[in-house]
Amino acid sequence: MGMIQEFREFAMKGNVVDLAVGVIMGAAFAPIVSTLVDNIIMPPIGYAMAGVDFSTLAVTLPTPTGDGVGIKYGLFLNAVIKFLITAFAIFLLVKAMNSMKKPAPAPAPAAPPPSEVYLKEIRDALVAKK
């Protein structure tokens, strides 16, 4: 029973729950970024580059059978752009979340120990005698 209770306490800690929410949001966010890159960002870039469709860019290496092996670097470029957009969006989200957090109140200074208060009184009395 102790192991189950320990796991429950671990799973309910704030960091674990936050991580789970982040993973779920990231998984839900990925198709949105993918659609944004494939359908909105890449077409104008391809148009500006004389109608090049990045997803079809590839280099074909010859093989002995004559079929050839394709290295589809255009798909890789699309994936890199998707990653950069996703990373930037997450950066902005984290930055916004951090700015909304209330700063922790500064701890009140601890009261000096009685011996220090007594020594200050002695010092002040000596200064007053001069």
Task: Check which CATH number belongs to the domain holding 32 and give it.
Answer: 1.10.1200.120
Q: Structural domain tally of the chain?
A: 1
The number of angstroms, rounded, from the C-alpha of 27 to the middle of its chain's C-alpha atoms is 14
- 123, amino acid identity: R
Structural domain containing residue 71: 2-103
129 in any annotated domain: no
Averaging pLDDT over each range in 1-5, 30-34, 38-42, 114-118, which range is the top one?
Answer: 114-118
Q: What is the mean pLDDT of residues 88-113?
A: 81
Identify whether 90 is part of a domain.
yes
Distance CA 89, CA 29 (A): 10
Note the pLDDT of residue 7: 78
**Sign of dihedral through CA atoms 68, 39, 53, 41?**
negative
115 within a domain of the structure (yes/no): no
**What is the per-residue pLDDT for 71?**
92
Span 52-63, pLDDT tens digits: 777 888 899 988
Give percent of the chain above pLDDT 90.
3
14 pLDDT higher than 70: no
Residue 113 falls within a domain, yes or no? Answer: no
What's the pTM?
Answer: 0.54
In a domain, 73, yes or no: yes
When the pLDDT of each residue in the chain is averaged and rounded to a whole number, the result is 83
